[in-house]
Structure 1
Amino acid sequence: MMHPKPGLARLALLCASLLCAAPAVAADTPSSRLLPPAPALPDIYSWTGIYLGVQAGYSWGQERTAFSDALGRAFNGAAFRQSSDSALGGAHAGFNLQTGSIVLGIEGDVEALDAGETLVAPAMTGRVKRDWQASVRGRVGFAMDRFMIYATGGAAFTDFDYHLYDAAAGLSASTDRSKTGWTAGAGVNFAYTDNLILGAEYRYTDFGKVNAAGSGPLLGLTVRHEPTTHTLRASLAYKF
């Protein structure tokens, strides 16, 4: 009986060992390890869309009013600076279009307020009052996901009511003037949810010079009014 040579036996044993170890080595290679899928990135908030909302705030300012009288009455040339402070509230609507981080928009609002002051001159009492204001403005914003800062500016509208009383003659007259001015400011918005947007805004408004002429018994009287206001507002809007 022939016995295999020792060298051949060792070679056969080595080959068998390598064949058995190959699957284990392959299982341990990096390419065989499966990594878990990467989590999905959160969606960036889009400010594009139509929105409707409400706002409330406070308006303040110092306004100059002067009386002129072509008939030479005692109050001619009397001038005053009076307060126009008032709480206010109203509604607004607008549309935003976002391109990258830039948000372009247009917005309109209307508000009720109770701004008024009584002026007293020699032999003359005057009252200036307004109870509404509105604006149409453009907006340019910079968005950081759900947070946006913006600048705004455009046209402002209101109506002034004047009541004048001549104590010496016992005569009175009332008149009103609609006026267009300009308004500008800045604000911040935060998208609390995909639809609810919180906001805060400051605006300065200038209605220029308002001239109101007396008629009837106060013919010859002119009131020159220079109203400017500062306003802070908080808002809540729904984006569709």
Structure 2
Amino acid sequence: MKTLLKATVATFLLLGSGAALSADLPSSKFLPLAPALPPLYSWTGFYVGGQAGYSWGSDRQGLFATAGRAPLGVSFDYRPSSFIGGAHAGFNYQMGSLVLGVEGDIEAINARDERGGLFRVQQDWQGSVRGRIGYAMDRFMIYAAAGAAFSSFEYGYFNPLAGFGETGRFSKTGWTVGGGVNFAMTDNLVFGLDYRYTDYGKFDHVGTSAYLGLTAEHEPSSHAMRASVAYKF
């Protein structure tokens, strides 16, 4: 009886120690490795593209006596507006989430307005060179931009008393500021949407014939919204 009891106890001890040893052994079954994450999109590189949108502006004209520049109390606002379209090119350099860049563009515009057949303004083209700073979230980027703007304005002045008119053409440099968003649909195709405000300051047209003795002061500025598509190299 004692011999049977000892044999039973020994059997349980062996079984228990074997289970403990097997529990300490490393498992031969492992979870599969997670797939590697795709690399984040890089905004670094040159790009070229086209853009189209709509521009609406304001141009205050005030009249002064040329001698002494005395205000005559006559002023009004032009409201030229137009669809716009053109081309742009630029370069971005990405550092982490920060994207620095420079961009230039040139556009055709057909902005015109007049007042009573006496005064008119027209603008046929515009361009800019801007620095950009953006924040990238993989293929999506928001940015702000500012720089120099260039354009040409033509003004017409008709004097019904004299029966003829005169014109003045001005090539102007101003400043522009705005911001937008870009989305890289593919590694090369980038879509964008932006807003921009442009101001060309104040300048004068001094009458030489129809309005001899009078000076017209102008203050053109504009707002614009654009959609764009570009190819990134």
- Whether TM-score is above 0.5 comes out as yes
2:78 pairs with 1:85: no
Map Cα deviations across residues 24-71 of structure 1 (whole Å, 9 max, x no partner).
x69x94343354333111110000000001111111133211233448
SS in structure 1 opposite 2:186? coil
Is the 2:54–2:81 contact (alpha carbons within 8 Å) kept by the matching residues of 1? yes
Is the 2:55–2:224 contact (alpha carbons within 8 Å) kept by the matching residues of 1? yes
Q: TM-score, normalised by structure 1?
A: 0.81
Is the 2:165–2:209 contact (alpha carbons within 8 Å) kept by the matching residues of 1? no
Instruction: Return the offset for 1:84.
Output: 1.5
Q: TM-score, normalised by structure 2?
A: 0.84
Q: Tell me the residue number matched to 1:59.
A: 55
Is the 1:200–1:234 contact (alpha carbons within 8 Å) kept by the matching residues of 2? yes
- Counterparts of 1:29 and 1:146 in 2: how far apart (Å)? 47
Instruction: Return the offset for 1:79.
Output: 1.1
Instruction: Return the offset for 1:82.
Output: 1.9
2:122 pairs with 1:129: yes
SS in structure 1 opposite 2:46? strand
Is the 1:69–1:77 contact (alpha carbons within 8 Å) kept by the matching residues of 2? no
Measured on the aligned residues, the alpha-carbon RMSD in Å equals: 2.5
SS in structure 2 opposite 1:33? coil
SS in structure 2 opposite 1:30? coil
- Counterparts of 1:130 and 1:222 in 2: how far apart (Å)? 20
Q: Tell me the residue number matched to 2:222.
A: 229
Instruction: Give 1 or 2 for the bigger CA radius of gyration.
Output: 1
Q: Tell me the residue number matched to 1:40.
A: 36
- Counterparts of 1:70 and 1:201 in 2: how far apart (Å)? 41
Q: Tell me the residue number matched to 2:99.
A: 103
Question: In structure 2, what residue type is equivalent to 1:200?
Answer: L
SS in structure 2 opposite 1:227? strand
Q: Tell me the residue number matched to 2:171.
A: 178
- Counterparts of 1:63 and 1:183 in 2: how far apart (Å)? 16
Q: Tell me the residue number matched to 2:191.
A: 198
SS in structure 2 opposite 1:47? coil
- Counterparts of 2:136 and 2:222 in 1: how far apart (Å)? 28
- Uncovered stretches (5+) of structure 1, i.e. residues with no partner: 1-5
Using the aligned pairs only, state the percent identity: 55
2:226 pairs with 1:239: no
Is the 2:159–2:210 contact (alpha carbons within 8 Å) kept by the matching residues of 1? no
- Counterparts of 2:209 and 2:106 in 1: how far apart (Å)? 33
